């Protein structure tokens, strides 16, 4: 959990329960520009994106595609994030972040390292993509507080862990947990998290250093007393908003359509590499074999010589594999013919007689995220998963 490194006792989560939204300190309200496709609003969106410096953008680029806020990151991805974090810490931002009003408000956890000393609650909830993790910081009130919130979903609920906070110096906050509770929509009361904070003693205490906070107040890097590094943001850029919507399943179609309407470019390449399908508008299902042969599931491997491959993991080490060719046939459009399919088990393969032809129309590709229309005009969102 965000910046919570003292040991807590994890509880099993039943996903049938609801939501709560009480907070000690009301977060600041920020105005977001509507992502409608017009020249004026595109210019406004560009201005909004400029709040991130070049070094901050490097960190955001490194974070794109990271699953579970770092849980499933590859060693290469971790190194890229670590380089970007260290560069920002050297550049420095706000001189004394704990003295600045910019630190107050709601921060979303984007990434955390996971040392063996991480608290059980952190190990239990933070790595789940479908959950959203926030930290509310309130240091300007009569009572300084830090609240860490795991939002399971709109339909399920939240867990909120609260701590008293004390500013030690310009960078360090000392905290001590004092209460925590679940809140469910179907219940008119909160369900206490059964942790005896008073009996935990030093285990309920900790400190948090803010090693970088952007002058725009939108990115924060913190390091905790148990060695954990946290990357948090107040505002997320459009790609992060898109991936968050897909992970949580909230308003995905609307966010995707807004994104590609404003992000389309005149010429986009298919993009070599290994691409994992995250989401599609497919609603009518056929057999999984038919879906796999049409690229409606699994991974696409794009090679520079015109070769394309679909790979779908089945069960017990079995995979579906289908290879073919792609040829550019128009602006942002490729003709694809898939004609060599097999069920693979280790070094053995069972050929499958099938041929599939369709076009891929590219809408967006920045080397990290690809949005395209494929078989039957279905809209797809892919994330690149191989190391560049």
> Using one digit for the tens of pLDDT, what is the confidence trace for 68-82?
788 778 888 899 999
Q: Which residue has the higher pLDDT, 262 or 251?
A: 251
Above 80 in pLDDT, residue 374? Answer: yes
pLDDT at 120: 59
Q: What is the mean pLDDT of residues 235-241?
A: 89
Task: Provide the pLDDT confidence category of residue 13 given band limits of 50, 70 and 90.
Answer: very low
Above 50 in pLDDT, residue 47? Answer: no
Query: CB under 8 Å to 107, separation ≥6 — which residues?
Result: 2, 134, 135, 136, 137, 220, 232, 233, 234
Could you tell me where the DSSP H helices lie in the chain?
39-49, 54-63, 75-91, 120-125, 197-200, 238-248, 252-263, 288-293
Task: Provide the pLDDT confidence category of residue 290 given band limits of 50, 70 and 90.
Answer: confident
Q: What percentage of the chain carries pLDDT values higher than 90?
A: 52
Above 80 in pLDDT, residue 294? Answer: yes
Interatomic CA distance for residues 213 and 379, integer angstroms: 37
Task: Provide the pLDDT confidence category of residue 298 given band limits of 50, 70 and 90.
Answer: very high
pLDDT at 284: 57
Interatomic CA distance for residues 173 and 191, integer angstroms: 28
Q: Are 387 and 74 in contact (CB under 8 A)?
A: yes
Interatomic CA distance for residues 322 and 312, integer angstroms: 9
3-state secondary structure of 86: helix
Q: What is the mean pLDDT of residues 297-302?
A: 94
| Closest C-alpha to 384, from 126, 52, 74 | 74
pTM, to two decimals: 0.75
Highest mean pLDDT of the ranges 13-17, 64-68, 130-134: 130-134
Q: What is the mean pLDDT of residues 349-362?
A: 93
Q: How far is CA 72 from CA 77, 98, 111, 385, in A?
A: 10, 31, 11, 11
Interatomic CA distance for residues 158 and 18, integer angstroms: 8
| Closest C-alpha to 277, from 246, 306, 298, 251 | 298
Q: What is the 3-state secondary structure (H, E, C) of 301-354?
A: EECCCCEEEEEEECCCCEEEEEEEEEEEEECCEEEEEEEEEEEEECCEEEEECC
CA neighbours closer than 13 Å in the CB half-sphere of residue 233? 18
Task: Provide the pLDDT confidence category of residue 99 given band limits of 50, 70 and 90.
Answer: very high
Q: What is the mean pLDDT of residues 11-24?
A: 36
Interatomic CA distance for residues 212 and 160, integer angstroms: 25
Above 80 in pLDDT, residue 263? Answer: no
Cβ-in-10-Å burial (0-12, 13-18, 19+) of 143 comes to: exposed
pLDDT at 50: 53
Cβ-in-10-Å burial (0-12, 13-18, 19+) of 377 comes to: exposed
Task: Provide the pLDDT confidence category of residue 41 given band limits of 50, 70 and 90.
Answer: very low
Above 90 in pLDDT, residue 234? Answer: yes
Average pLDDT over the chain, rounded to an integer: 82
3-state secondary structure of 244: helix
State CA 74 to chain mean position distance: 15
Cβ-in-10-Å burial (0-12, 13-18, 19+) of 172 comes to: middle
Task: Provide the pLDDT confidence category of residue 137 given band limits of 50, 70 and 90.
Answer: very high
User: pLDDT by residue (tens digit) across 145-187?
Assistant: 999 999 988 889 999 999 999 999 999 999 999 999 999 988 8
pLDDT at 265: 60
pLDDT at 9: 35
Above 60 in pLDDT, residue 264? Answer: no
Q: What is the DSSP letter of 32?
A: P
Q: What is the mean pLDDT of residues 209-232?
A: 95
Determine the angle formed by the axes of helices 252-263 and 238-248, rounding to 10 degrees.
160
């Amino acid at each position: 959990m965000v910046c919570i490194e003292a040991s807590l006792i994890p509880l099993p989560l039943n996903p049938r329960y609801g939501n709560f939204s009480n907070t000690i300190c009301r977060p600041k309200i920020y105005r977001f520009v509507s992502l409608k496709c017009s020249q004026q609003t595109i210019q406004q969106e560009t201005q909004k994106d400029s709040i991130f410096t070049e070094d901050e953008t490097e960190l955001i680029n490194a974070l794109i595609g990271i699953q579970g806020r770092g849980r499933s990151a590859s060693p290469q991805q971790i190194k890229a994030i670590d380089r970007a974090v260290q560069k920002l810490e050297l550049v420095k931002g706000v001189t004394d972040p704990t003295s600045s009003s910019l630190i107050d408000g709601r921060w979303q956890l984007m990434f955390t390292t996971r040392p063996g000393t991480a608290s059980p609650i952190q190990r239990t909830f933070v790595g789940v993509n479908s959950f959203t993790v926030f930290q509310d910081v309130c240091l300007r009130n009569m009572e300084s507080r830090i609240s860490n919130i795991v939002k399971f979903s709109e339909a399920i609920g939240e867990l909120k862990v609260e701590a008293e906070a004390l500013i030690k110096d310009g960078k360090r906050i000392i905290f001590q947990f004092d209460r925590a509770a679940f809140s469910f929509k179907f219940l008119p009361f909160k369900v206490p998290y059964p942790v005896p904070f008073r009996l935990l003693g030093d285990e309920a205490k900790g400190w948090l250093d803010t090693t970088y906070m952007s002058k725009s107040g939108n990115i924060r890097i913190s390091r905790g007393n148990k060695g954990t590094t946290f990357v948090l943001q107040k505002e997320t850029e459009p790609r992060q908003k898109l991936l968050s919507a897909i992970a949580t399943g909230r308003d995905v179609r609307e966010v995707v359509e807004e994104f590609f309407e404003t992000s389309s470019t005149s010429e986009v390449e298919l993009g070599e590499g290994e691409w994992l399908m995250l989401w599609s508008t497919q609603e009518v299902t056929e057999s999984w074999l038919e879906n796999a042969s049409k690229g409606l599931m699994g991974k696409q491997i794009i090679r520079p010589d015109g070769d394309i491959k679909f790979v779908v993991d089945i069960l017990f080490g079995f995979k579906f594999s289908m290879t073919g060719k792609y040829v550019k046939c128009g602006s942002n459009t490729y003709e694809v013919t898939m004609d060599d399919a097999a069920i693979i088990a280790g070094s053995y393969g069972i050929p499958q007689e099938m041929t599939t032809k369709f076009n891929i129309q590219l809408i967006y590709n920045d080397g990290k995220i690809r949005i395209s229309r494929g078989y039957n005009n279905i809209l797809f969102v892919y994330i690149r998963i191989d190391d560049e």
